[in-house]
């Protein structure tokens, strides 16, 4: 596995973690507002956000639009991945098929 593919894999994981942690934070805020959930998910969301931004800015194939999309809190990582797929740097997740 090359470094480029490894960074994209980590970017994909961090983008999903960023979005899920934001959903949990907002759900907690608008329902029961349990302090330990906020204490756990706040830093998790912040770290995932920073990782997404740094990983996107490190990619040579990232356009300025992709880098700006990565700055959007919550869904920026997924938007950046979508933009990278449009310019052809990310292959969609397909199961490996053995030709017959």
**Residue 94 in this model has a pLDDT that exceeds 60:** no
Token couple for 72: 């959007």
Flag whether pLDDT at 20 surpasses 60.
yes
Supply the pTM of this predicted model.
0.80
What are the residue ranges spanned by the domains of the chain?
3-86
State the sign of the Cα–Cα–Cα–Cα dihedral 94, 64, 18, 13.
positive
Find, among 3, 22, 5, 2, the residue nearest to 77 by Cα: 22
> What is the tens place of the pLDDT at every residue in 41-93?
999 999 999 999 999 999 988 999 999 999 999 899 999 999 998 876 555 55
Task: Report which of 59, 70, 88 is spatially closest to residue 15, judged by C-alpha positions.
Answer: 70
């Amino acid at each position: 596995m090359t470094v480029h593919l490894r960074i994209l894999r980590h970017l994909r994981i961090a983008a999903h973690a960023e979005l899920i942690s934001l959903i949990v934070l907002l759900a907690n805020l608008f329902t029961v507002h349990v302090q330990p959930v906020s204490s756990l998910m706040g830093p998790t969301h912040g770290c995932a956000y920073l990782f997404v931004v740094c990983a996107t800015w490190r990619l040579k194939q990232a356009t300025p639009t992709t880098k700006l999309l990565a700055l959007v809190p919550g869904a920026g990582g997924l938007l950046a991945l979508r933009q990278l797929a449009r310019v052809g740097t990310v292959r969609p997740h397909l199961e490996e098929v053995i030709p017959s």
